[in-house]
């Protein structure tokens, strides 16, 4: 993370403490606390290199993928989901997962590298490639599980048990992501009890973290808050995470709702890139820089260097050859104008 840079008069410049998420706004100038407390620190899983790129309608060169991951490594992310170990015929853009892993320069930062896996074969490939963590995905509905993974939900649970056993034996943490947890493009309404039952089963099998995915942007803030509150009661000893899409413009509000329910881990994609090729309508992950900007403005730390992150997003928008839907790229940050300069804590 880049430290705050001060001028000769001691004023904080463009890399202010607030812009890099190391300071809180003062409460002496009229600010009031939120109705519900939120975490002081949010942990971010950057999914652009995997979830973002896998839905791009173009061929992305392996070297470009490696360059993107290496550009993100020094920025202060807790984790980066770099690759997916799925069958190459299912997601051709992820066919070079091993080559991408081999090209990542771990000297650039302490960020942990995550690989998505759909089954035990994927786990073997991921472990051989040297990932730090695993992300196993299944769906909350039969229809989406068959469309996305070509198996029944019961079949996914069987494979999860095998995959978790392998991960535990290897000493590698595994997250489980339950996609379409808030709504399914095929079945519509998803009963919360079904999601909670799945979460409990994942916890019993040894998941280190359970993520609820709004795969097609169908969630609303009341729903997100309620489900995560109930999940905290059902699986109190497993870390909760949220994966949101901004398909209908509710991504930021849903993130805040999850935070008010105590969730302190979220996924986001550089520039808002991507979506799931097996979920109709799943356009637009929540944008990393937009979410980081919002959190820093709230005084919530992320550890991410926002100024450098915007530089990376601008550079790779051109190199990827696709427009990035993120708002901050167009409007620019305003963090330096939100709090009087003498109130910054430039740690």
Q: Which residues of 240-277 are buried (b: 16+ CB within 10 A; e: fewer)?
A: bbbbbbbbeebbbbbbbbbbbbbbbbbbbbbbbbbbbb
* Tokens standing for residue 259: 């935070």
Separation of alpha carbons 244 and 3, rounded Å:
29
Separation of alpha carbons 69 and 101, rounded Å:
10
CA 306 vs CA 67, 101, 181, 288, 309: distances in Å: 19, 25, 30, 9, 5
Active site residue 202: no
The answer to whether the CB of 291 falls within 8 A of the CB of 253 is: no
The answer to whether the CB of 25 falls within 8 A of the CB of 339 is: yes
Catalytic residue, from 184, 202, 211, 276: name it.
276
The answer to whether the CB of 229 falls within 8 A of the CB of 196 is: no
* Tokens standing for residue 283: 């356009």
Within the chain, residue ranges assigned H as helices are: 62-72, 97-103, 120-129, 142-149, 153-170, 192-205, 221-234, 251-260, 288-297, 306-320, 328-331
Check the CA dihedral 80-85-86-87 and report its sign: positive
Report residue 264: phi and psi, to 5°: -125, 15
Catalytically active residues are 276
């Amino acid at each position: 993370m880049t430290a705050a840079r001060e001028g000769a008069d001691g004023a904080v410049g463009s890399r202010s403490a607030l812009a890099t998420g190391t300071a809180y706004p003062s409460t002496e100038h009229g600010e009031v606390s939120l109705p519900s407390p939120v975490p002081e620190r949010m942990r971010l899983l950057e999914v652009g290199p995997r979830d973002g790129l896998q839905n791009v309608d173009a061929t992305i060169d392996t070297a470009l993928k490696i360059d993107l991951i290496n550009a993100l490594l020094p920025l202060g992310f807790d984790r980066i989901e770099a690759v997916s170990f799925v069958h190459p015929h299912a997601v051709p853009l992820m066919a070079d997962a091993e080559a991408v892993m081999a090209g990542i320069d771990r000297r650039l930062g302490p960020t942990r590298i995550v690989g998505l896996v759909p089954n035990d074969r994927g786990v073997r490939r991921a472990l051989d490639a040297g990932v730090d963590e695993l992300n196993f995905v299944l769906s909350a509905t039969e229809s989406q599980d068959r469309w996305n993974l070509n198996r029944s939900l019961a079949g996914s649970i069987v494979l999860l048990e095998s995959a978790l056993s392998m991960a535990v034996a290897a000493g590698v943490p595994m997250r489980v992501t339950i996609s379409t947890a808030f709504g399914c493009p095929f079945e519509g309404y998803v009963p919360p009890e079904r999601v909670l039952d799945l979460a409990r089963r994942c916890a019993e099998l040894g998941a280190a973290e359970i993520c609820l995915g709004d795969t097609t942007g169908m969630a609303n803030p009341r729903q997100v808050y309620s489900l995560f509150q109930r999940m905290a009661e059902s699986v109190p000893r497993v870390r909760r995470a949220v994966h949101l899409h901004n398909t209908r413009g509710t991504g930021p509000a849903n993130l805040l709702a999850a935070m008010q329910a105590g969730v302190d881990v979220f996924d986001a994609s550089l520039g808002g890139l991507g979506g799931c090729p097996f979920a109709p309508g799943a356009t637009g992950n929540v944008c990393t820089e937009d979410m980081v900007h919002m959190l820093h403005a709230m005084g919530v730390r992320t550890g991410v260097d926002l100024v450098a992150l915007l530089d990376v997003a601008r550079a790779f928008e051109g190199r990827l050859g696709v427009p990035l839907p993120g708002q901050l790229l167009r409007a620019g940050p305003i963090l330096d104008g939100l709090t009087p300069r003498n109130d910054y804590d430039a740690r």
